[in-house]
Amino acid sequence: MTGGGLPLIHSGKVRDLYDAGDDRLLMVASDRISAFDVIMAEEIPQKGRVLTAMTVAWLDELADLAPNHLVSADVADFPDLAEQVPGGPGHLAGRSMLVKRANMLDIECIVRGYLAGSAYKEYVRQGTVHSMAMPEGLRHASKLPEPVFTPSTKATEGHDVNISRAEARNLVGSEVADAAAELCLAAYRRAAARAEEHGIVICDTKFELGFIDGTLALCDEVLTPDSSRFWSADNCAPGTNPPSFDKQPLRDWLEARPWDKQAPPPVLPRDIVDTTSARYVDAYQRVCGRSLSDWYGA
């Protein structure tokens, strides 16, 4: 497949990936949004810019911990490539990254600092998180004694499956799995401390790691609302279900509809689109302490 000149390698739920030559890729974050594994017909304004701006901000913040795949997020640095993609430089500004190719790990690298999601469900059933024993008496949104590395599979179809550290070692090798855990835990602790300064709790997050020139590197999106659960510290207490800075308003609206969660999805009303967009923008500005109006493509 081709898209305006550059070969289109993959078009996912959110991102389009192009072959930029010279062992590089052009990643474009669209404004598409999915829920319950179905892509909505309506786009969420600013979403792609938010995901890109947050990723670049965090890659800069974590640069001393590990190398990363970013070459540039400024279209002025790759105008000839941008011209070969639908929409051109004007469309790509703020939502695209020129990156190095990486040999990606075959596991999702998740770090959890608080109890929520599938980890909470497992804890309720058997008192463990990814087969690791946890203290008694924890509740939803309880802070874990220490952040934990909780890998999962990368499913080509359906949902990822939570696995233990031992299973991760079997999949990618003990040395690689342990190095991934060490890097992701260090990155989470750094990010959590920075987010706390802005009154934000990072409940959990998913990192994507790959090898570039033989070195383990941070890749893809980093600490965005699509890969992380961000809570306001003011609303985070054990036993509660804090609202996240993500697409929850959209999911709540869909849950209230008579919809079988199969395509085609219901038509989204303007207020849901606007509310979801505002939530993404708020996530960037509160978590990173920056204004989206200062980012490319404003």
Domain that holds residue 122: 104-235
Q: What is the pLDDT of residue 3?
A: 43
In a domain, 248, yes or no: no
Count structural domains, the chain.
1
Alpha-carbon distances of 127 from 76, 118, 134, 148, rounded to whole Å = 52, 13, 6, 15
Query: Does pLDDT of 113 surpass 50?
Result: yes
For residue 270, the model assigns a pLDDT of 97
Is residue 116 very low, low, confident or very high in pLDDT (cuts 50, 70, 90)?
very high
Q: What is the pLDDT of residue 155?
A: 72
Whole-model pTM over 0.85: yes
Render the chain in DSSP notation, one character per residue. Answer: -EETTEEEEEE-SSEEEEEEETTEEEEEE-S--EETTEE-SS--TTHHHHHHHHHHHHHHHTTTT--BSEEES-GGGSHHHHTTSTTHHHHHTTTEEEEE--EE-SEEEEEEEE--HHHHHHHHHHSEETTEE--TT--TTPEEEEEEE--EE--SSS---B--HHHHHHHH-HHHHHHHHHHHHHHHHHHHHHHHTTTEEEEEEEEEEEEETTEEEEES--S-TTTEEEEEGGG--TT--PPBSSSHHHHHHHHTSS--S-SSPPPPPHHHHHHHHHHHHHHHHHHH---GGGSTT-
Inside any domain, residue 20: no
Residues in the chain: 298
Residue 262: pLDDT band (50, 70, 90) is: very high
**Is 84 inside any structural domain?**
no
Residue 154 lies in a domain: yes
- 75 within a domain of the structure (yes/no): no
Q: What is the pLDDT of residues 71-108, one digit of tens each?
A: 999 999 999 999 999 999 999 999 999 999 999 999 99
Residue 289 domain-assigned (yes or no):
no
What pLDDT, on a 0 to 100 scale, did the predictor assign at position 157? 62
pLDDT for 1:
37
pLDDT digits (tens, 9 = 90+) for 192-231: 999 999 999 999 999 999 999 999 999 999 999 999 999 9
Give residue-wise pLDDT tens across range 17-40: 999 999 999 999 999 999 998 999
pLDDT at 269 over 90: yes
- Per the domain annotation, does 221 fall within a domain? yes
CATH of the domain at 209: 3.30.470.20
